[in-house]
Amino acid sequence: MGTARARMAKAAGLAVLAGVLALGFVGYLRPRFMVDLTNMVLAWCG
């Protein structure tokens, strides 16, 4: 049971890391997209 939970946590962490790297790559290719995305997140948060 504990190993399954650890495996799921590791998979989730790798998925988050892959998402962050993908967003960073898109931001490098299209900085305007990242500015729009950041503004949307800031507007949504508060």
State residue 1's pLDDT score: 62
Query: Residue 34: exposed, middle, or buried by beta-carbon count in 10 A (0-12, 13-18, 19+)?
Result: middle
Q: Report the number of distinct structural domains present in the chain.
A: 1
State residue 16's pLDDT score: 95
Mean pLDDT of the chain: 89
For residue range 4-26, list pLDDT tens digits in order. Answer: 888 999 999 999 999 999 988 88
First CA to last CA across the chain, in angstroms?
Answer: 39
Domain encompassing residue 9:
2-45
Q: What percent of the chain has pLDDT over 90?
A: 50
CA–CA distance, 31 with 6 (Å, rounded to integer): 36
pTM to 2 decimals? 0.62
Q: What is the DSSP string of 11-34?
A: HHHHHHHHHHHHHHHHHHH-HHHH
